């Protein structure tokens, strides 16, 4: 696939959404609503569930499949209250040392005057801040679109996994083409240069695992079951490993992992 | 001294807003505030450091590090070279230690003229390392944000700096140390969505643009017509995201006072020390006497 086809694939309406993953991988999901301050953002679906015999908190950005659902879920564009709701659920998970699994699929944080008034930037910042030292394992799965800070706010994690044809980018390839190349038709080229696809991000140590997609992934009638059960097996295994680590080691390694990204040996506390 | 050079300069510049010509020396004398329209013009980072810190107290850290092209993005070298020439800085942030009204602190000041103050890996790495340095030495951090957001030319490596710096601030916070930040024109995108909004105290400059999404983007996406003053510092104050708006000529005093009241060396600290003695003794971690190994210290902080 070339870059343009990959972008289309990442955005394809038939791809599983957060609710599909929750239904296929977890059992006994009980949804929890609201940020306890302002409202309930429908772009975030979250709650408690069982991953095999492990109680977990699962949080996903939901896009919906058809137009009605998409409107209801605000096209997967999360409002500040959505990020705060996610954080509330993460803190609740931390209290009971329950692992957190996130599914990320968003073109970006919700863009509008309401989001700005309610502190879109502050809400994202606060999630990055709290997630870094959350005292419980966190795994985030980039399932489709990974739109910049709006995606990162649910993806400061011990492990970030990425579907083969998902993308995760600092800026949308469209915006990059029009801002830097002054030519909105050069989207595919921008996408290539941004290194936003799974294999590149794996090489850059930004994602820990690439999940391969079957040929007909997200097409009408594709075989959901084997894909989901294999993903479930991977999650069970990794969550088990992470839960066996002392919590301070877990957090230290999480911090060190991000600390190493774009690290210069000259820039160091001891090099002054 | 950079400020002296500015003050002595008879070169004519134009105000960012009213476009009236002003002699640079006169503008500098007025804290770079336009004497005609009152617009807060951008201050070069190095001049800002001089305005805020006590004379001769600033010691810069990691000044010499220069950007490469980590993901081989087209035309990046040309742009960063040009940015170095126009800003006379190696990167988009100056970091160091200094005293402000007598209180020792770490300070970072972003350079708005270096690729619009955008945050790439060096900016992120320097600020993260500065917070680690502050943890190691038990110091507060004072920051000046001015940024268009994450730097596109370093792709996802730039985005990850948001997480990295936010994490370093969290560790600094958990060490019981104070961080205050002043948001200046413009503070947007990934910087607003990370370290600009994570201060114990957050102040802004009058009229500064402070927001997450760009105004034009919001108008295009939503079809809304946004009112004048949308995403101004005053708007952020009104919506509860800033502690106060502080004029430039008051900022040194304000920051000095804020550092002093948060300092544990404070002579008027008796009631708090008494509280400590009664309730926290034996449980607190004495960060000042920690072993010099930063890594060990970070571990210990997390452990507590």
pLDDT (average), residues B83-93: 96
Q: What is the pLDDT of residue A22?
A: 98
Q: How far apart are CA B223 and CA B248, in angstroms?
A: 36
Q: Which CATH superfamily is domain A3-259 in?
A: 2-enoyl-CoA Hydratase; Chain A, domain 1 (3.90.226.10)
> Does B172 contact chain A (CB < 8 Å)?
no
Q: How confident is the model at residue A271 (pLDDT cuts 50, 70, 90)?
A: confident
Q: How confident is the model at residue A108 (pLDDT cuts 50, 70, 90)?
A: very high
> Does A188 contact chain B (CB < 8 Å)?
no
Kindly tell me the number of DSSP H helices and DSSP E strands found in chain A: 12, 8
CB contact under 8 A, A259 and B128: yes
Among positive and negative, which fits the CA dihedral A170, A175, A180, A186? Answer: positive
Residue B268 Ramachandran class (φ > 0 left, ψ -120 to 50 alpha, else beta): alpha
pLDDT (average), residues B13-18: 95
Q: How far apart are CA A26 and CA A56, in angstroms?
A: 9
Q: What is the pLDDT of residue B270?
A: 56
Going from N- to C-terminal start, the domains of chain B cover 1-41, 43-269
Has residue B290 got a pLDDT over 50?
no
Predicted-complex ipTM score: 0.96
Q: Contact at 8 Å (CB) between B163 and A129?
A: no
Residue count of chain A: 272
Residues B138-150: pLDDT tens digits? 999 999 999 999 9
* Set of chain B residues whose Cβ sits within 8 Å of the Cβ of A193: 71-74, 155
> Does B286 contact chain A (CB < 8 Å)?
no
* Burial (0-12, 13-18, 19+ Cβ within 10 Å), A215: exposed
Closest by Cβ to B160, choosing from A116, A252, A258: A258
Of all residues in chain B, the one with the smallest CA distance to A173 is: B152
Q: How confident is the model at residue B1 (pLDDT cuts 50, 70, 90)?
A: confident
Q: How confident is the model at residue B67 (pLDDT cuts 50, 70, 90)?
A: confident
> Does A206 contact chain B (CB < 8 Å)?
yes
Has residue B284 got a pLDDT over 50?
no
CB atoms within 10 A of CB B56: 10
pLDDT (average), residues B235-263: 97
pLDDT (average), residues A47-72: 97
Out of A18-22, A42-46, A55-59, A181-185, least confident range: A181-185
Across all residues in chain A, what is the average pLDDT? 96
CB contact under 8 A, A118 and B61: no
CB contact under 8 A, A109 and B212: yes
User: Could you give the percent of chain B with pLDDT greater than 90?
Assistant: 84
Q: How confident is the model at residue B269 (pLDDT cuts 50, 70, 90)?
A: low
Q: What is the pLDDT of residue B282?
A: 56
Q: Contact at 8 Å (CB) between B203 and B166?
A: no
Residues B107-159: pLDDT tens digits? 999 999 999 999 999 999 999 999 999 999 999 999 999 999 999 999 999 99
Q: How far apart are CA A216 and CA A223, in angstroms?
A: 8
Q: What is the pLDDT of residue A186?
A: 93
> Does B196 contact chain A (CB < 8 Å)?
yes
> Does B25 contact chain A (CB < 8 Å)?
no
* Terminal-to-terminal C-alpha distance of chain B: 44
Q: How confident is the model at residue A272 (pLDDT cuts 50, 70, 90)?
A: confident
Residues A11-20: pLDDT tens digits? 999 999 999 9
> Does A224 contact chain B (CB < 8 Å)?
no
Residues B177-201: pLDDT tens digits? 999 999 999 999 999 999 999 999 9
Has residue B280 got a pLDDT over 70?
no
Q: How far apart are CA B153 and CA B76, in angstroms?
A: 6
A226 to chain B, minimum CA–CA distance in Å?
Answer: 31
A230 to chain B, minimum CA–CA distance in Å?
Answer: 28
A82 to chain B, minimum CA–CA distance in Å?
Answer: 15
Residues A158-212: pLDDT tens digits? 999 999 999 999 999 999 999 999 998 999 999 999 999 999 999 999 999 999 9
* Set of chain B residues whose Cβ sits within 8 Å of the Cβ of A153: 193
* Set of chain A residues whose Cβ sits within 8 Å of the Cβ of B217: 111
Closest by Cβ to A133, choosing from B126, B174, B299: B174
CB contact under 8 A, B192 and A121: yes
pLDDT (average), residues B33-54: 95
* Set of chain A residues whose Cβ sits within 8 Å of the Cβ of B197: 119, 121-122, 125-126
Closest by Cβ to B218, choosing from A112, A149, A254: A112
Q: What is the pLDDT of residue A240?
A: 97
3-state DSSP of chain B: CHHHHHHHCCCEEECCCCCCEEEHHHHHHCCCECCCCCCECCCCHHHHHHHHCCCCCCEEECCCCCCCCCCCCCCHHHHHHHHHHHHCCCCCEEEEEEEECCEEEEEEEECCCCHHHCECHHHHHHHHHHHHHHHHHCCCEEEEEEECCECHHHHHHHHHHHHHHHHHHHHHHHCCCCEEEEEEEEECHHHHCCHHHCCCEEEECCCCEECCCCHHHHHHHHCCCCCCCCCEHHHHHHCCCCCEECCHHHHHHHHHHHHHHCCCCCCCCHHHHHHHHHHHCCCCCCHHHCCCCHHHHHHHHHHC
CATH fold of B43-269: 2-enoyl-CoA Hydratase; Chain A, domain 1 (3.90.226)
* Set of chain B residues whose Cβ sits within 8 Å of the Cβ of A271: 62
Going from N- to C-terminal start, the domains of chain A cover 3-259
CB contact under 8 A, B190 and A148: yes
Out of B95-104, B121-130, B150-159, B219-228, least confident range: B219-228
> Tokens 């983007």 appear where?
B217
Out of B19-28, B207-216, B271-280, least confident range: B271-280
Residue B282 Ramachandran class (φ > 0 left, ψ -120 to 50 alpha, else beta): left
Q: How confident is the model at residue B279 (pLDDT cuts 50, 70, 90)?
A: low
CB contact under 8 A, A152 and B136: no
Q: What is the pLDDT of residue B272?
A: 54
Residues A79-93: pLDDT tens digits? 999 999 999 999 999
Q: How confident is the model at residue B274 (pLDDT cuts 50, 70, 90)?
A: low
Q: How far apart are CA A158 and CA A149, in angstroms?
A: 18
pLDDT (average), residues B155-183: 97
> Does B171 contact chain A (CB < 8 Å)?
yes
Picking from B159, B299, B303 by the largest number of A CB atoms within 10 A of its own CB, the best residue to mutate is B159
The DSSP letter of residue A194 is H
Has residue B288 got a pLDDT over 60?
no
Report which of residues A270 and B31 the model is more confident about.
Answer: B31
Cis omega (within 30 of 0) for bond into B186: yes
Closest by Cβ to B163, choosing from A115, A116, A132: A132
């Amino acid at each position: 696939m070339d870059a343009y086809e990959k972008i289309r694939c990442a955005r394809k309406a038939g791809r599983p959404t957060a609710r599909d993953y929750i239904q296929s991988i977890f059992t006994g999901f009980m949804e929890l609503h609201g940020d306890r301050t302002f409202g309930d953002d429908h772009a975030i679906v979250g709650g408690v569930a069982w991953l095999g015999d492990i109680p977990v908190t699962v949080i996903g950005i939901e896009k919906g499949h058809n137009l009605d659902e998409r409107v209801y879920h605000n096209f997967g564009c999360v409002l500040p209250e959505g990020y705060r709701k996610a954080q509330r659920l993460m803190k609740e998970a931390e209290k009971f040392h329950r692992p957190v699994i996130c599914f990320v699929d968003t073109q970006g944080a919700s863009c509008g005057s309401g989001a700005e008034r309610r502190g879109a930037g502050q809400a994202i910042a606060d999630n990055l801040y709290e997630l870094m030292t959350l005292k419980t394992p966190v795994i985030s799965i980039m399932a489709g679109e990974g739109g910049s800070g709006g995606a990162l706010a649910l993806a400061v994690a011990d492990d970030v996994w990425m579907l083969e044809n998902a993308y995760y980018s600092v800026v949308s390839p469209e915006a990059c083409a029009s801002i830097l190349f002054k030519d909105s038709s050069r989207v595919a080229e921008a996408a290539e240069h941004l290194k936003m696809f799974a294999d590149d991000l794996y090489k850059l140590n930004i994602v820990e695992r690439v999940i391969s997609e079957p040929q007909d992934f997200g097409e009408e009638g594709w075989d959901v079951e084997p894909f989901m059960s294999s993903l479930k097996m991977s999650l069970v295994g990794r969550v088990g490993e992470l839960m066996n680590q002392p919590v301070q080691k877990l957090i230290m390694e999480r911090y060190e992992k991000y600390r190493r990204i774009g690290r210069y040996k000259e820039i160091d506390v001891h090099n002054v | 001294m950079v400020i002296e050079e500015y003050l002595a300069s008879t070169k004519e510049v134009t105000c960012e807003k009213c476009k009236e010509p002003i002699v640079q020396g006169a503008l500098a004398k007025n804290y770079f505030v336009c004497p005609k329209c009152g617009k807060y013009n951008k201050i070069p980072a190095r001049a800002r450091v001089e305005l805020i810190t006590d004379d001769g107290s600033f010691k810069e850290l990691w000044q010499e590090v220069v950007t490469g092209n980590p993901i081989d993005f087209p035309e990046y070298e040309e742009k960063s070279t040009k940015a170095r020439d126009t800003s006379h800085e190696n990167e988009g942030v100056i970091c160091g230690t200094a005293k402000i009204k007598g209180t020792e602190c770490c300070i970072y000041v972003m350079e708005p003229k270096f690729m619009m103050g955008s945050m790439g890996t060096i900016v992120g790495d320097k600020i993260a390392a500065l917070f680690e340095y502050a943890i190691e030495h038990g110091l507060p951090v004072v920051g000046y944000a001015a940024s268009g957001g994450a730097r596109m030319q370093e792709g996802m490596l730039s985005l990850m700096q948001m997480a990295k710096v936010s994490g370093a601030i969290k560790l600094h916070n958990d060490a019981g140390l104070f961080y205050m930040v002043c948001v200046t024109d413009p503070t947007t995108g990934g910087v607003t969505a990370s370290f600009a909004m994570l201060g114990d105290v957050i102040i802004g400059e009058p009229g500064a643009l402070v927001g997450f999404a760009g105004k034009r983007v919001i108008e295009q996406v939503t079809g809304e017509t946004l009112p004048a003053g949308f995403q101004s510092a005053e708007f952020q104050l009104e919506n509860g995201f800033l502690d106060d708006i502080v004029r430039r000529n008051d900022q040194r005093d304000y920051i000095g006072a804020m550092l002093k009241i948060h300092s544990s060396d404070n002579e008027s600290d008796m009631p708090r020390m008494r509280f400590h003695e009664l309730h926290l003794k034996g449980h607190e971690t004495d960060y000042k006497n920690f072993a010099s190994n930063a890594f060990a210290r970070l571990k210990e902080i997390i452990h507590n």
